[in-house]
Structure 1
């Protein structure tokens, strides 16, 4: 089967099968789309395959295995994120096998790839000084600086997952002083409303005045990029890029900022801040949108570990831290439903 068949099946999977047959949420479908885009990026960077050269012939056990390693070591994704992308690729190939028996062998070959094992470790939360330096780094002298400041501040104050932030619309924001809050749509389309600081509300009002003047469309993207005069939803790669960019500036004032920065470190930092302020774990669980308390309890374990690390450090000091497709590739991705 050639590349035409490959992209035809991608399009029907994304636009018909997932939303209509499986009735998956737009959030989940975007996640699956991101996995396919990552696979195409991997094939281009490691195999030299351009979009119109990709077909099912490029997909096998070796490709899927190399893809998972590439996500871990080059994209610096967490094992859980790698497993999510692998699961999306397997789901796509299972659909293709059902559409064409000739593709069953491809699906079974890739299906043999085992999930990446995640090592047990404490959340890599940023310290408060690092968070403050990161928030200050973009500055607010330009519209882009204002936007980036708002993104970093909101990621921290709401402890939102990166996709939860990207899914925000103006209708999800309430900046009323003393009652400010943000409504987030989390995993499984579960909605939760989290309070925000009054200072964050003030920054939100400033952002709304600059980017959503007047009475904004309540369904428009709260954070967006502009292409050809049209507003588009931001991608996770956009957020990752701006965090890495501003971390370079922030590191000049706070050397503790790690070289490998990601949005979840701000979420972890907020959770640790709440824990140290004696907020009960069940309240933190609801704030973070965790399904069970055991997931939240890791922050209590992490805090004990930090105490031990601090003691060890004190003893040791005693004398004796997105490929943008262009040209025809843009059209090809759009036709396949990937943009």
Structure 2
């Protein structure tokens, strides 16, 4: 419909008699599709997912660091790919990372001390001989080092999702890196973090964009309903006295 409208207005620019047809087409409403609730990962499933990679293997340590950093910082997978050693400020009083986001905008995102521990362990293994210009997470193909691809990050995420799925059947069938970002953002909002601050963390230019993550939890909805409920209980205005009721009604 959008293509037809654009074409008719293009034709009408050269043929004035077509303007009424173009105007009529512009008034035809678009079909409204059902807006589905965006999936997030439940707390128990998330904890199991982050704990799934082994701490005893080199690959497991790398994979766990990727999953934990994606969740803790709520960065996009594209932003994760652009991180370098210089992006990390792990020895500051308040550790943080410098993120190169959309629109060529840079922001800083605070990370937890636990995430710092995982990053330091990862760097000790994977960056013992590299400098600050190297991609933080990389792959080596035929001797060529490059930033890890989005597809590879997604493969890692689903690899561990399948591993824990037998014990966590409620996990979404297909996971995407953005689910970790959405889960983190929703969790921050539901735990009382102001929307403006959540917006800064996510790198949004407007809080209107952030509102898609501001979905209340079931507990929040329940509390709101209970706080605004109406007391429908009634108290008797007189004693349950048959003689008194008869006297008031004038039948005795």
* TM-score normalised over the length of structure 1: 0.53
**What's the offset of the Cα at 1:176?**
2.1
2:144 counterpart of 1:230: yes
In structure 2, the residue matched to 1:33 is none
In structure 2, the residue matched to 1:147 is 62
Alignment check: 8 A CA contact 1:172 1:183 kept: yes
2:220 counterpart of 1:303: no
**What's the offset of the Cα at 1:291?**
1.9
Give me the whole-angstrom Cα distance separating, in 2, the residues matched to 1:166 and 1:197: 20
Segments of structure 2 that go 5 or more residues without pairing to the other structure are: 1-31, 223-252
Alignment partner of 1:259 out of 173, 186, 189: 173
Give me the whole-angstrom Cα distance separating, in 1, the residues matched to 2:121 and 2:183: 25
Larger relative helix fraction: 1
2:113 counterpart of 1:198: yes
Alignment check: 8 A CA contact 2:39 2:172 kept: no
**What's the offset of the Cα at 1:244?**
1.2
Give me the whole-angstrom Cα distance separating, in 1, the residues matched to 2:82 and 2:48: 26
* TM-score normalised over the length of structure 2: 0.71
Alignment check: 8 A CA contact 2:41 2:180 kept: yes
Distance 1:247 1:118, change over 3 A: farther
> What's the RMSD between the two structures over aligned residues?
2.4
Give me the whole-angstrom Cα distance separating, in 2, the residues matched to 1:257 and 1:178: 36
Secondary structure of residue in 2 paired with 1:145:
helix
Give me the whole-angstrom Cα distance separating, in 2, the residues matched to 1:259 and 1:185: 30
**What's the offset of the Cα at 1:124?**
1.6
2:208 counterpart of 1:290: no
Segments of structure 1 that go 5 or more residues without pairing to the other structure are: 1-116, 310-339
Give me the whole-angstrom Cα distance separating, in 1, the residues matched to 2:219 and 2:79: 28
Alignment check: 8 A CA contact 1:128 1:269 kept: no
**What's the offset of the Cα at 1:150?**
0.6
Structure possessing the higher radius of gyration over alpha carbons: 2
Give me the whole-angstrom Cα distance separating, in 2, the residues matched to 1:283 and 1:268: 15
**What's the offset of the Cα at 1:252?**
3.0
Give me the whole-angstrom Cα distance separating, in 2, the residues matched to 1:289 and 1:234: 22
**What's the offset of the Cα at 1:118?**
7.6
Alignment check: 8 A CA contact 1:225 1:233 kept: yes
Alignment partner of 2:134 out of 220, 230, 238: 220
Secondary structure of residue in 2 paired with 1:251:
helix
1:63-102 superposed matches below 5 A: none
In structure 2, the residue matched to 1:128 is 43
Secondary structure of residue in 2 paired with 1:252:
helix
In structure 2, the residue matched to 1:249 is 163
In structure 1, the residue matched to 2:229 is none
Secondary structure of residue in 2 paired with 1:232:
strand
